[in-house]
Amino acid sequence: MPELPEVEFAARRLRVAILGHTLAAADVFHPSAARHLPPAHRKALVGRQVRQVERRAKIQLLHLDDASVLEVHFRMTGDWAFAQVGDEAPRFERVRLDTREGLRVSLVDSRAFAVVRWHAPGTFVLPDLGPEPLGDDFTVDALRDALASRRAPIKPVLLDQRVVAGVGNIYASEALWLARISPETPANALTGPRQTARLTRLRDGIQEALRTAPATRYYNSGIHDGSPYDEPQDWRVYDREGQACARCGSRIVRYVQAGRSTYACGKCQR
Catalytic residue among 3, 6, 8, 174: 3
User: Is 131 one of the annotated active-site residues of the chain?
Assistant: no
User: Is 260 one of the annotated active-site residues of the chain?
Assistant: yes
Measured between alpha carbons, how far is 53 from 99 in angstroms, rounded to an integer?
A: 15
Catalytic residue among 55, 58, 94, 144: 58
Helix (H), strand (E) at residue 14:
helix 4-18
Strand partners, 77: none
Q: 8 and 75 in contact (C-beta within 8 Å)? A: no
Phi, psi for 70 (deg, rounded to 5):
-105, 115
User: Is 43 one of the annotated active-site residues of the chain?
Assistant: no
| 201 DSSP 8-state letter | H
Catalytic residue among 2, 90, 133, 153: 2
User: Is 270 one of the annotated active-site residues of the chain?
Assistant: no
Catalytic residue among 75, 117, 180, 260: 260
Strand partners, 87: none
Q: Which residues have a catalytic role annotated? A: 2-3, 58, 260
